[in-house]
Amino acid sequence: MSAPATISDLRKMSAVETCHAALDRILATASLNAFNTIDGDRALERAADIDRNRARYASAPLAGVPVAVKDNICTRGLKTTASSRILEHFIPPYDATVIERLHAAGAVVIGKTNCDEFAMGSSNENSAFGPAKNPWAVDRIPGGSSGGSAVAVAARMTPLAFGSDTGGSIRQPAAMCGVVGLKPTYGRVSRYGLLAFGSSLDQIGPFAHTVRDAAITLGVIAGADPADATSAPQKVDDYEAALTGDVKGLRVGVPSRMLAEGVDPEISRALLTALDTLRARGATVVDIDLPHAKYAISVYYLVATAEASSNLARYDGARYGLRSADADLGAMYMKSREAGFGAEVKRRIMLGTYVLSAGYYDAYYLKAQQVRTLIRRDYDQAFEAVDVVAMPTSPIPPFKIGEKVADPLQMYLADIFTVSANLAGLPAISVPCGFSSGCLPIGLQLTGRPFDERTLLQAADAYERDTEWWKQQPPIAG
Amino acid sequence: MSALTKAQVEAVAALANLELEPAEIELFARQLGDVLTHVEELKQVDTTGIAPTTSTSSPGGAATQGVEREDEVRPSLAIADVLANAPEREKARDGGFFKVPRIIG
């Protein structure tokens, strides 16, 4: 067992050597299918520039750190496909705001990672370019939708990666691959340049080996952006300074009624052990009730698909992306979309279009938004008595590739613990908290108050200090 | 709710600008029916007088108030860069344009 290199280790090293090592590792683990596109030459040029100008990058928090970026975040001059045929050859003319901020911080973008098509899925099986594979068991899913980013960090290709989280798409693959995954508060990070899926839910966040690395990275990408009207004006805190290890008096809420059924017994046991670890550091564990959380899946799949059906209307073959030629404009739109979108994307566009259509709007969409208010109020109430909420990230361990493809509803139901943070706009993090008897990673999810990433990261870091799960190396990375 | 009818699926597909294959129509009729049956559970929740949440940006759940800035000219992307991804484009003196099938006969 050897601990993975962290940001503070890598900042001391030659950027070019680090970049070469990352590129070699990506090649050696290519069978995991974590990357859609590798940008080796430009990454090496950029690393050389950093090495030549070390003085200029002396205080850059990510100087020379190679990063992998989910393929639904725009990178200027570098293909951004959303793992979809419809954008297979799309090269953005601009960088997402997070990419600009990463460049300013000295990070080296090394490539674009595989994901479920347009971030729609929980297994990475909906990629038009084949699924990424879990480095702990290559016949199993890595989770999704940001599967490739989780795999890149878990298999030690890059120490940092980025994903988007609409209903758990950072936290769930982080849990299933045994790494840290952070979804910041809605509005904390600019989404300018993120291909929109569910605009009231989407948020960008990092994957890392340690909570400290996630905290440093959040400090780089957080903050208001004039290009995204939903980015929040709230002050960006010094997240690394919050990692004191002190959780004396911290109140950890556990919605035990919600966890009573449907959770894999090994995952339940791992959660209880994690709570004991926090207690031993001086935290108190409090039982809470989130009475409407059980409706979160229904609310989520109505709200997210409605927003998606509207957002994905732009892919019509007119201005960019795949076009199926036809002499008639309407037929050109329909044929292009039919040829360009995969099954899950079409299924969600159909569901979203249905629930927004005349006669059904009130019964489905409006009703879902009202229950969303109740879910949010449950959390507001809980946070009067506790500082963070603890749950498993996923109720099930990573399953075998292909096992659940035929039954989308069963796949949706497994998102039960992650979607409510998006519906309520709350920050949440998944940290490794154990392994199943089959040696599959298990994740602990902590959820915090809006814009209180400090407390969330402080709690997660304190927990991590008393565990060594994050140091474990998957067999493929050996 | 059970499966949607073929006609319902076709009508929704037309609204969504999707030209589905016959096999997809059959599959989606069943799968969308499954999901819509599941979400029926929301009927159990009393939402009388509850305001809908459209955004979590504000405490009340309404969308963010208008975000404004000075109305000043700022640089934007070059036309050639924007057209670079176009499936079909036409060069012109003012920079060019996207080309689509004829709309007006």
Of the candidates B13, B41, B61, which has its C-beta nearest A295's C-beta?
B41
Q: What is the pLDDT of residues A157-172, one digit of tens each?
A: 999 999 999 999 999 9
Q: Spell out which residues of chain A touch residue B31, defining contact as CB-CB under 8 Å.
A: 347, 408-409
- Mutation pick from A290, A353, A354, A411 vs chain B, by most beta carbons of B within 10 Å, is A354
Query: What residues does A428 pair with on adjacent strands?
Result: A183, A447
Tokens of A358: 């005349």
Interface test with B, best of A370, A372, A449 (most B CBs within 10 A): A370
Residues of B in contact with A368 (CB under 8 A): 39, 42
Residue A81: its chain B contacts at CB < 8 A? none
Q: If pLDDT is split at 50, 70 and 90, which confidence band does A57 have?
A: very high
Domain match, A141 and A183 both: yes
* A1 domain-assigned: no
A68: alpha, beta or left? (left if phi > 0; alpha if psi -120 to 50): beta
Residues A304 and A210 in one domain: no
A395 with A464, same domain: the answer is yes
Give the pLDDT score at B94.
81
Structure confidence by residue, pLDDT tens digits, A254-310: 999 999 989 999 999 999 999 999 999 999 999 999 999 999 999 999 999 999 999
Residue A181 lies in a domain: yes
Contact list in B for residue A350 (CB cut-off 8 A) is 9, 12-13, 16, 18, 28, 32
Residue A437, domain extent: 7-290+375-418+428-477
- As given in the structure block, the two tokens for residue A193 are 């340049």
Nearest CA in chain A to B90: A319
Where among A369, A385, A402 does a domain terminate?
A369
Picking from A232, A316, A376, the nearest residue to B53 by CB comes out as A376
Q: Which of B50, B64, B86 sits opposite A373 (nearest CB)?
A: B50
Same domain, A322 and A436: no
Interface A:B, Cβ pairs < 8 A = 163
Residues A273 and A344 in one domain: no
Q: Contact B15/A412, CB-based, under 8 Å?
A: no
Q: Do A410 and A352 share a domain, yes or no?
A: no
In chain B, positions 15-54, which contact chain A (CB-CB < 8 Å)?
Answer: 15-21, 24, 27-28, 31-32, 34-36, 38-39, 41-43, 45, 47, 50-54
Residues A14 and A145 in one domain: yes
Mark yes or no for CB contact B13/A350 under 8 Å.
yes
- Is residue A14 in a domain? yes
pLDDT confidence of residue B93: 84
pTM, full prediction = 0.97
Classify each residue of A420-434 as buried b or exposed e, where b means 16 or more C-beta atoms within 10 Å of its C-beta: bbbbbbbbbbbbbbb
Residue A423, domain member (yes or no): no
Same domain, A389 and A270: yes
What sign does the dihedral B36-B37-B39-B44 (CA atoms) show?
positive
Q: What are phi and psi of A204, to 5 degrees?
A: -95, 145
* A152 and A17 together in one domain: yes
**B85·A91 Cβ contact <8 A:** yes
Task: Reply yes or no: is the peptide bond before residue A430 cis, omega within 30 of 0.
Answer: no
- Predicted local confidence at residue B1, as pLDDT: 60
Looking up residue A204, the CATH number of its domain turns out to be 3.90.1300.10
pLDDT tens by residue, chain B, 105 residues: 678 999 999 999 999 999 999 999 999 999 999 999 999 999 999 999 999 999 998 766 666 567 788 899 999 999 999 999 999 999 888 889 999 998 886
Is A76 within a domain? Answer: yes
Same domain flag for A105 and A23: yes
Is B32 within 8 Å of A321 when comparing Cβ atoms? Answer: no
For residue A236, being part of any structural domain is answered with yes
Q: Could you tell me which of A411, A256, A393, A311 has the C-alpha nearest to residue B38?
A: A411
Tokens of B29: 């009729």
Reported ipTM: 0.94
Q: Please report whether residue A2 resides in a domain.
A: no
Q: Which residue of A has its CA nearest to B34?
A: A409
Q: Which of A369, A390, A410 is the last residue of a domain?
A: A369
Amino acid at A93: P
Collect all residues of chain B within an 8 Å Cβ-Cβ radius of residue A323.
87-88
Pair B33, B4: CB distance under 8 Å: yes
Same domain assignment for residues A176 and A302: no
Q: Which residues of A are catalytic?
A: 70, 145, 169
- Number of compact structural domains in chain A: 2
Residue in chain B lying closest to A355 (CA): B36
